[in-house]
Amino acid sequence: IEKKARNGNPKKFNLPKPLINKKNCDFSFSGLKTATNRLCKRMKLEKKMKKNVKDICASFQETVCEVIVDRCRNAVKIFNKRFPSKEIRLVIVGGVASNNYLRSKLSFLAKEINFSFIAPPKELCTDNAAMIAWAAIERIKIGMKGDINFKPTPRWQLNVSNSSKRISNKR
């Protein structure tokens, strides 16, 4: 998507921004996926897909990034209230971290909120084992130790009250 989006117009198609401006950190891209799928089908039927593919990709990428930045902004507000600190980092990891456009948007957000921005080398972003090892190295660097004696919870709720229970931040 990023390659096709590079020369596209991110404002050409107004796609839905699920949960944007909600005061939580929840994600849902189902409405966006459905709308994008319908748009693509319509463009194919009208034989306009080839002409619009760059703009569709750019609009999709822009929308996803806008939602992610909005969710991160909320997470930062919650984090700052619960864990005031002098040196705070915004970290992006996983396959999504290989997207330069998202990296630039999150880097801008980090500057805006006075956080340092950290992203692993792009060539490691799609390797899960490398990402886990990299995260461990970053934790070790700042003296964090995880408790390996936790009970696995396959249906762990991703909410603020559970965020600090799962991983120990002992130093």
Q: How many CA atoms lie within 13 A of 108 on its CB side?
A: 11
Question: Model pTM?
Answer: 0.79
Whether 44 shows a pLDDT value over 50: the answer reads yes
Q: Domain ranges in the chain?
A: 1-83, 85-171
Is 71 within 8 Å of 25 (Cβ atoms)?
A: yes
For helices 49-82 and 30-45, give the axis angle rounded to 10 degrees. Answer: 170
Average pLDDT over residues 61-68: 97
Residue 15 burial by Cβ neighbours in a 10 Å radius (0-12, 13-18, 19+):
buried
Return the DSSP state at 95: G
Report helix, strand or coil for 116.
strand
Report helix, strand or coil for 131.
helix
E strand or H helix at 89: strand 89-91
The pairs formed by 20-28 with CB atoms below 8 angstroms and a separation of 24 or more are 20/66, 20/67, 20/70, 21/70, 22/74, 23/74, 24/74, 25/71, 25/74, 25/75, 25/78, 25/158, 25/160, 26/71, 27/67, 27/68, 27/71
Rg (CA), the chain: 19
When mean pLDDT is compared over 5-14, 109-118, 124-133, 139-148, the highest value belongs to: 5-14
**89 DSSP β-pair partners:** 116
Is 115 within 8 Å of 72 (Cβ atoms)?
A: no
pLDDT tens for 95-127 read 899 999 999 999 999 999 988 999 988 888 888
Whether 3 shows a pLDDT value over 70: the answer reads yes
